[in-house]
Amino acid sequence: MTVPNKNAVLDKIMERAAELRELGPVNESLGRLDDKAAKVLRDAGMIRMLQPKNHGGLETHPREFAEAVMGIASLDGSTGWVAGIVGIHPWEMAMADPKVQEEIWGEDPDVWIASPYAPMGIARPVDGGYIFNGRWQFSSGTDHCDWIFLGAFLGDEDGKMAMPPTSLHMILPRSDYTIVEDSWDVAGLRGTGSKDIIVKDAFVPTYRTIEFNKVVEGIQPKEAGLTNTLYHVPFSCAFPLGITSAVIGMAEGALAHHLAWQRERVQITGTKVKDDPYVLYAIGEATAEIQASRAALLENVDRMYDKVAAGQEISFAERAAGRRIQVRAAWRAAHATTEIMMRSGGNALRNSNPIQRFWRDAHMGLAHAIHVPGSVYHASALTDLDVEVPQGPMRSMI
């Protein structure tokens, strides 16, 4: 198994760990990342970890990226979430037309790109490109981004979805879309600033588009002539990596604060927590679950990376199994935070206690579409039984 180099980005982040911890409540109150938190990520090179070297990127091993996201999320869930989501976008941008890469990074390699990829818009073909319209939710970290990936369905000449459906990723500059302020009022991940986006009659030239299916099937990086193994790791492994890593990091953050809280805590019965075998059992079990989630996710990306590096293709069955591992890792970690929260006593509910924030953030992280288990578990079980998974929604996230 490939062993990545020392994680220089994570080291830089940890040098400013106290700053990111203190900014957690500030991010939550603002409803977005404080500028200081974003600067820590920029200074450390977090968002450039998967960016191509010819545009100032680091092209690190994806395991290093996941470890960095976990480390950040253990300090503040919202900052880790933004790092994981915005941090994956340079990976796909490396596959885009060189012309749009130059537009984005030509003068400043620290330009960030937002999303979401959900196909909530219609791209109507015209000469040289598309007329694009739509509204999207959940654009994490969008206030700190100057470009955006937006998912779309190809439209017909009347602006209606063409059949059969064809999904595109559209790339737009900040001047071509509107961020809807006050559209992010939520129970968890409040500091991510995952606001709505509106696009109205924007012209998107063809070179600023990518066919989603080509990314999923590994065609796009080959057509782009990319040689680094990083860019040939399957989309269904790379894209969820930052999101699930963030949830696991939040669980690690919850655990760290829980242990600090419990060391001197005396329960209402007069029993010290450190003398209560039932609580200690729960803490031990939760710790094991979080550690297992971390190990499973990192082993999964290592295995995918090593197989690609050896020149081997990743089958659909392997992609489905990888998604199963990734989804389950997130759910195990989040469930462990519930055990932690419920064993922390009533004072853990106070806004001044960070345990409740990590608990809320981790569970809201499960709401992301990439963590929905149903179709993933179904598809992976079918492949284990040597049954061909039909084309359609069951394969769409794999």
Each residue's pLDDT tens digit, 154-167: 999 888 889 889 99
Residue appearing with tokens 């419920």: 342
Exposure on the CB side of residue 311, measured as CA atoms within 13 A: 0
Q: Phi first, then psi: give them for residue 392, nearest 5 degrees.
A: 130, -160
Q: How far apart are CA 179 and CA 83, in angstroms?
A: 19
Q: How far apart are CA 295 and CA 302, in angstroms?
A: 10
Return the closest-CA partner of residue 184 out of 135, 140, 147: 140
pLDDT score recorded for residue 64: 98
Report the mean per-residue pLDDT for the chain.
96
pTM of the model: 0.96
The domain locations on the chain are 8-105, 113-211, 233-395
pLDDT over 80 (residue 5): no
pLDDT score recorded for residue 303: 98
Of 141-145, 246-250, 345-349, which gets the smallest average pLDDT? 345-349
**Over residues 207-217, mean pLDDT:** 97
pLDDT band at 10 (very low <50, low <70, confident <90, very high): very high
Q: How far apart are CA 27 and CA 186, in angstroms?
A: 13
pLDDT over 70 (residue 4): no
pLDDT score recorded for residue 393: 84
pLDDT band at 68 (very low <50, low <70, confident <90, very high): very high
Fold of 113-211: Butyryl-CoA Dehydrogenase, subunit A; domain 2 (2.40.110)
pLDDT over 60 (residue 388): yes
pLDDT tens for residues 125-139?
999 999 999 999 999
Cα 9 to Cα 13, 91, 253: the distances in Å are: 6, 17, 19
Q: How far apart are CA 317 and CA 383, in angstroms?
A: 5
pLDDT band at 269 (very low <50, low <70, confident <90, very high): confident
pLDDT tens for residues 11-33?
999 999 999 999 999 999 999 99
**In the chain, what percentage of residues exceed pLDDT 70?**
99
Axis-axis angle for helices 77-93, 235-262 (nearest 10): 160
Residue appearing with tokens 């009347």: 158
Strand 209-211 relative to strand 167-173, pairing: antiparallel
What CATH superfamily classification does 8-105 receive? Acyl-CoA dehydrogenase/oxidase, N-terminal domain (1.10.540.10)
b/e code 275-301 from CB counts within 10 Å (16+ = b)? ebeebeebbeebbebbbebbebbbebb
User: H/E element holding 119?
Assistant: strand 119-126
pLDDT over 60 (residue 3): no
pLDDT tens for residues 217-234?
999 999 999 999 999 999
Strand 178-180 relative to strand 195-205, pairing: antiparallel
**In the chain, what percentage of residues exceed pLDDT 90?**
89
Residue appearing with tokens 């509910």: 349
pLDDT score recorded for residue 217: 94
pLDDT band at 51 (very low <50, low <70, confident <90, very high): very high
b/e code 175-188 from CB counts within 10 Å (16+ = b)? ebbebbeebbeeeb
CATH 1.20.140.10 fits 233-395, yes or no: yes
pLDDT tens for residues 277-334?
999 999 999 999 999 999 999 999 999 999 999 999 999 999 999 999 999 999 999 9
pLDDT band at 264 (very low <50, low <70, confident <90, very high): confident
pLDDT over 60 (residue 2): no
**Equal fold, 113-211 vs 233-395:** no
Return the closest-CA partner of residue 40 out of 63, 68, 4: 68
| Residues ≥6 apart with Cβ < 8 Å to 46 | 9, 13, 68, 72, 83, 87
pLDDT over 90 (residue 144): yes
DSSP label of 284: H
pLDDT over 80 (residue 98): yes
pLDDT score recorded for residue 130: 98
